[in-house]
Structure 1
Amino acid sequence: MGRNISQFRAITVGLLVVNGPVLALLLGPLWAFVAAIENGEIDRSYNWIGLVVFISGFVLAWLWWAVSVPRWRIWAYANVQDTKALKQRAIEVGL
């Protein structure tokens, strides 16, 4: 690859590509479940399913993170010149 993007841009792409879906996978299913209860589509006696929904979302988010971080690292290391500084900054932001 070209090694032509800045460290800041690589980190920004990583945060959007990795953590954006993680947030959606954590909060999306739980939000949909709460909305279904509020709208009366699911009876309130099934509130316990919220725990299952949360755990499922957590597992999916963790799996996404576990797959996407190594892929992002490969891409970032191939496109940024100062890989040592990139690695340090990525650790600081949780990538």
Structure 2
Amino acid sequence: MTGRVTIDQAIAKAKMTVHLPATCIMFAAWGQALILVPSGLLPPLFTFMSMAVAVSGWPLAWMYRAYMTPRWKLWAYSGAGNVQQMKAAAIVAKVIGPDNGFAEKSEICSKDMRAQILRLEGRA
């Protein structure tokens, strides 16, 4: 990373690359069922599939967040002047969860990425 990242820039990027897509995934899954199922025009198999997609919307959104959050952390912490301030602001903005919380434990990343994040946070 060549340039510094401000807290506001990092939070804005998290909202655009983590929160917004996850929200879109969830609402798209629900929306397609709300549009297709009440019409009654679908064969039973497609109605069932539509409902299955609707039910899977929240877990899919969670998986997306779990995959993207550590990548955002690595980018934000690498460019931050003060990692602790960045982390505190991200927790307040609900971009990340507290240390050792369920959200952090469910993050999907390699051991190397996890080690880099912990080193940048000063917990390694």
TM more than 0.5: yes
| CA gap 1:40/1:48 in 2 versus in 1, 3 angstroms | closer
1:29 aligned residue? 29
8 Å Cα contact 2:32-2:54 kept in structure 1: no
What is the alpha-carbon distance in structure 1 between the residues aligned to residue 21 and residue 7 of structure 2? 21
Shift of 1:38: 4.8
What is the alpha-carbon distance in structure 1 between the residues aligned to residue 33 and residue 41 of structure 2? 9
2:7 aligned residue? 7
Shift of 1:32: 1.4
2:90 aligned residue? 90
1:64 aligned residue? 64
Match status 1:73 vs 2:57:
no
Q: How many residues align?
A: 94
The TM-score, its normalising length taken from structure 2, stands at 0.65
Q: Which has the higher helix share?
A: 1
| Cα-Cα RMSD | 2.3
Shift of 1:55: 2.5
Aligned amino acid, residue 4 of structure 2: N
2:17 aligned residue? 17
- Using the TM superposition, name which of 22-31 and 48-57 deviates more: 48-57
| SS at structure 1 position matched to 2:56 | helix
Aligned amino acid, residue 28 of structure 1: A
Structure-to-structure mapping, 1:33-44, within 5 angstroms: 33-42=33-42
| SS at structure 2 position matched to 1:64 | helix
